[in-house]
A and B are shown apart, each in its own frame.
Chain A
Amino acid sequence: MIVARRKPLAEIEAVVQDCTQVLVVGCGSCMAVCQAGGEKEVEILARQLRMRARLASRCQIVDEITLPRQCDPEFLRPLAALVDRYQALVSMACGAGVQLLAEQFAHRPVFPALDTLFLGVNEGPGTWGQRCLACGQCILHLTAGICPKTLCAKGLLNGPCGGTKHGKCEVNAEKTCAWAAIYNRLEKWGRLELIGRIWPPADWSVVDTPARHGTSLAEESAP
């Protein structure tokens, strides 16, 4: 899941303060789950913006709407009939959603209300932890389901480094050393021989930006 955090109110207010009509657009998937841009967060931001406008004696109308998803043009279609009423859209989606919204309604400025952080998992109420770099070359089957590229502070493929101490990381003594965790789990799996594997330098050339995935029309029509 994509995890994000809301920007400070002052930062959001600064970009919309000149607009008299603003639409806050929420995203009901990842952003709702990580409590950053779902229906409730949209309502809170809209209320805060309205209160700020009143305190600053500004005439500003802030409407709100939450779409099931913002990273899919199909879900943005209902907005087509609405956007012309507004001078700006504030998107509470991840960076991908903000960009698609801006692309679909290029005649209206779209501002992000969130800082997109990482791909992660829920670790407890209101806490999320990064698990994946989206590097395009998954090796989790060889590292006992623990990604050293993400969880090792140094991103080492041939770990652990000399700084590991009693299973903890030298960069942050509170964090578990990813390679110590990999060793322990491989031991449980009975596949400890995998730890001896020497990895060549990672091939970052496969990390293509901007990356695309899916079958193109040309590929589909190819025999």
Chain B
Amino acid sequence: MAEPERESFPNAARAFPAREGASGSDRLAGRPVVVAFACTYCAYTAADLAGAMRLSYPAEVRIVQVPCTGKIDICLLLDAFEHGADAVFVAGCNLGDCHFREGNVHAKKEVARCRRLLREVGLEPERLEFFHVPASAASLFADCAREMTKRACSLGPNPLRATPAGDLGKKLALPEDLPPAIPPQDLGKLKTDRANQQKGA
């Protein structure tokens, strides 16, 4: 399969040397990983349309369909970087077009907050971006994908790639609250003399 995108990013080969032992069939070996969280109502449709229109955009982009960008959570974005994404972008509806009224506004804030957290950690905040991509803007989606791939190439690989995400900690669960033991059925019931006599007999 032809790979015209590789020529579009001359830095890629230098910045992302092929992994040792990568098989020939691993087309993306030694290439950046860009994750796109795309709203199903706009950006995902735009990406679909880009395919239908035969527009080419970098094969490095892995699209994650979300029901609304309001679903985007900081932990989700951090997770992508923890697992070695070189660049991440969130693509949502235009302002005022969100099917859930303000999911895109929420996502924009989350992205801004996450960029500050990335800076604190020591990763470049430019690795994360938010774009407004309406459903009809297929070429805009392709441009966003190209832009983020270009950024990933110029910034180089995510330094977290050097160490495996592995088992470095987890969320512990609290023990379940057990209900108190059920008291015996006759607890608190007055026993008549007759009942006692029967028991005694």
Q: Which residues of A contact B (CB under 8 A)?
A: 8-10, 22-23, 40, 43-44, 46-48, 50-55, 57, 60-65, 67, 78, 82
Complex A-B, nearest 7 residue pairs according to Cβ-Cβ distance, in ascending order? A62-B169, A65-B172, A54-B163, A9-B120, A63-B169, A47-B78, A51-B121
**In the complex where A51-B82, A54-B160, A55-B159 touch, is A63 in contact with B170 (Cβ < 8 A)?**
yes
**In the complex where A40-B75, A51-B81, A63-B169 touch, is A78 in contact with B175 (Cβ < 8 A)?**
yes
When the two chains form their complex, are residues B122 and A44 in contact, meaning their CB atoms are under 8 A apart? no
- Which residues of B have CB within 8 Å of A46? 169, 171
- CB contact list, B130-173 vs A, under 8 A: 159-160, 162-163, 167-173
The CA-CA distance from A54 to B120 in the complex, in Å, is 14
When the two chains form their complex, are residues B168 and A44 in contact, meaning their CB atoms are under 8 A apart? no
Taking A40-B75, A47-B79, A51-B82 as known contacts, 11 extra A-B pairs with beta carbons closer than 8 A to each other, sorted by chain A number, are A9-B120, A10-B120, A43-B171, A44-B75, A48-B120, A50-B82, A50-B168, A51-B121, A61-B167, A67-B174, A82-B172
The CA-CA distance from A65 to B175 in the complex, in Å, is 11
The CA-CA distance from A78 to B74 in the complex, in Å, is 28
- Which residues of A have CB within 8 Å of B55? none
The CA-CA distance from A15 to B153 in the complex, in Å, is 35
When the two chains form their complex, are residues A54 and B174 in contact, meaning their CB atoms are under 8 A apart? no
When the two chains form their complex, are residues A43 and B75 in contact, meaning their CB atoms are under 8 A apart? yes
Whether, in the assembled complex, B117 has its beta carbon less than 8 Å from a beta carbon of chain A, the answer is yes
Return the chain B residue nearest A59 by Cβ.
Answer: B168
- Which residues of A have CB within 8 Å of B73? 40
When the two chains form their complex, are residues A65 and B168 in contact, meaning their CB atoms are under 8 A apart? no
- Which residues of A have CB within 8 Å of B167? 61
When the two chains form their complex, are residues A44 and B171 in contact, meaning their CB atoms are under 8 A apart? no
Return the chain B residue nearest A82 by Cβ.
Answer: B172
Return the chain B residue nearest A28 by Cβ.
Answer: B174
Contacts between the two chains (Cβ within 8 Å), count: 69
The CA-CA distance from A22 to B121 in the complex, in Å, is 18
When the two chains form their complex, are residues A44 and B117 in contact, meaning their CB atoms are under 8 A apart? yes
The CA-CA distance from A17 to B58 in the complex, in Å, is 39
Return the chain A residue nearest B169 by Cβ.
Answer: A62
- Which residues of A have CB within 8 Å of B82? 47, 50-51
- CB contact list, B111-132 vs A, under 8 A: 117, 120-123
- Which residues of A have CB within 8 Å of B160? 51, 54-55
Min CB gap B166→A, angstroms = 9
Q: Which of B75, B122, B168 contacts A60 (CB 8 A)?
A: B168
A-B contact pairs, 30 of them (CB 8 A): A8-B120, A10-B120, A22-B169, A40-B73, A40-B74, A43-B171, A44-B74, A44-B117, A46-B169, A47-B79, A48-B117, A48-B120, A50-B168, A51-B78, A51-B81, A51-B121, A51-B122, A51-B160, A52-B121, A54-B168, A55-B121, A57-B163, A61-B167, A61-B168, A62-B168, A63-B169, A63-B171, A65-B171, A67-B174, A78-B174
The CA-CA distance from A46 to B173 in the complex, in Å, is 15
When the two chains form their complex, are residues A44 and B78 in contact, meaning their CB atoms are under 8 A apart? yes
- Which residues of A have CB within 8 Å of B172? 23, 63-65, 82
The CA-CA distance from A47 to B79 in the complex, in Å, is 8
- Which residues of B have CB within 8 Å of A50? 82, 168-169
The CA-CA distance from A44 to B82 in the complex, in Å, is 12
- Which residues of B have CB within 8 Å of A65? 171-174
The CA-CA distance from A78 to B175 in the complex, in Å, is 7
The CA-CA distance from A51 to B123 in the complex, in Å, is 10
- Which residues of B have CB within 8 Å of A43? 75, 171
When the two chains form their complex, are residues A48 and B74 in contact, meaning their CB atoms are under 8 A apart? no
